[in-house]
Amino acid sequence: MRVAVTGASGRVGRAVVDVLVAAGHEVQRLDRAPGEEITQIDLTDAEATADLLRGIAPQALVHLAAIAVPFSAPERDIFTVNTGMAFTAIEAAVAAGVTRILVASSPTVLGYGTPDWTPERLPLDESAPTAPANAYALSKVCVEETVAAFARSAPSVRLASFRPCYVITPEEWDGAPTQQGHTVLDRLRDPALAAVSLFNYVDARDVGVFIDAWLAADAAPSGARYFVGAADALAVDPLDELLPRFHPGTRDAAPALRGTSSAFDNTAATRDTGWVPRRSWRTELHPDALAALAASTSAPDGRTSR
């Protein structure tokens, strides 16, 4: 189908576009920044966005564009830009006759960065209450509610939002710095680096595969929300030990986790679309990095030495 992807030149967008093209879709790449095969658009301009989508006439819209890093801009700017772009893109898509709209949110909507965060249970699924603690997370809660509102008011359109975990791109597996400036190997060696995100992660290509699966899942309910993450945690040590160390409020819930299984549950995404994550740090990390990680562990159970 013809799919318009906003934020197409971003870290996630590039991988998503590659997956969708490989799957046979005709992809229209939309972004504010110029680039090869990119149609430039300012999604804060409602009239220009509406005109563009009418002209493209896509069957589906995948909205990835956002200020993607918490505290990377003034809080007010993050909130107004992210919520405004999402509303504008969805409104224009509905008016243009788009029948499938999928919008990126974030696991940060749960508010797990706060000192007193105490989950009722683990692993976390879509029933966990949202408790945003910064403008980025708050903007994503509003984006999810915008998707839900349009799902109620536009029954001929199937909409959903998804919460991709900490995205790792192919070049980052090979040692390029991640979004936070350190490498994947750094995050595995020093649990404090990944603890802030509850050790969640997902390969960018698996995100693209989820999107392709959702586009094809005609029976998936409109207005749904999905966690999209790797099946395991970005950690060497068991999560039932690591989480209470960095997040004391998880002490009662953490024993439900087994080994390095993820703190986030993909069941809803698998149920509704058939998608399952295929990649993990064990299969994708550069062999040299895996060897270095193995060399830094010495305990018989494989736990990192301190």
**What is the mean predicted confidence (pLDDT) over 240-259?**
96
Contact 202, 164 (CB under 8 A): yes
Give me the torsion for CA of 129, 16, 235, 132, rounded to 10°.
Answer: -20
> 121: domain CATH number?
3.40.50.720
Residue 95 has pLDDT above 50, yes or no: yes
Looking at the domain assignment, is residue 30 inside a domain? yes
Give me the torsion for CA of 272, 277, 278, 282, rounded to 10°.
Answer: -160
**What is the mean predicted confidence (pLDDT) over 114-138?**
96
Looking at the domain assignment, is residue 92 inside a domain? yes
Encode 241-258: b = buried (16+ Cβ within 10 Å), e = exposed. ebbbeebebbeebbeebe
What pLDDT, on a 0 to 100 scale, did the predictor assign at position 301? 46
| Domain, as residue range, for 88 | 2-166+203-231+263-278
Looking at the domain assignment, is residue 249 inside a domain? no
Instruction: Please report, rounded to a whole number, the percentage of residues in the chain having pLDDT higher than 70.
Output: 97
More confident residue, 296 or 273: 273
Looking at the domain assignment, is residue 7 inside a domain? yes
Inter-CA distances, 71 with 44, 68, 78, 175, Å: 20, 9, 8, 25
DSSP state of 107: G
Pairing verdict, β 224-228 and 202-203: unpaired
Number of domains composing the chain:
1
- Binned at pLDDT 50, 70 and 90, residue 113 comes out as confident
Residue 192 has pLDDT above 60, yes or no: yes
Cα atoms found within 13 Å of the Cα of residue 292, Cβ hemisphere only: 14
Six token digits for residue 98: 């788009």
What pLDDT, on a 0 to 100 scale, did the predictor assign at position 298? 52
Contact 8, 31 (CB under 8 A): yes
Looking at the domain assignment, is residue 258 inside a domain? no
What pLDDT, on a 0 to 100 scale, did the predictor assign at position 302? 43
Taking only the tens place, the pLDDT of each residue in 43-84 is 999 999 999 999 999 999 999 999 998 999 999 999 999 999
pLDDT, averaged across the chain: 95
3-state secondary structure string, 16-80?
HHHHHHHCCCEEEEEECCCCCCEEECCCCCHHHHHHHHHHHCCCEEEECCCCCCCCCCCHHHHHH
Return the SS3 of 145. helix
Looking at the domain assignment, is residue 250 inside a domain? no
Looking at the domain assignment, is residue 38 inside a domain? yes
Looking at the domain assignment, is residue 248 inside a domain? no
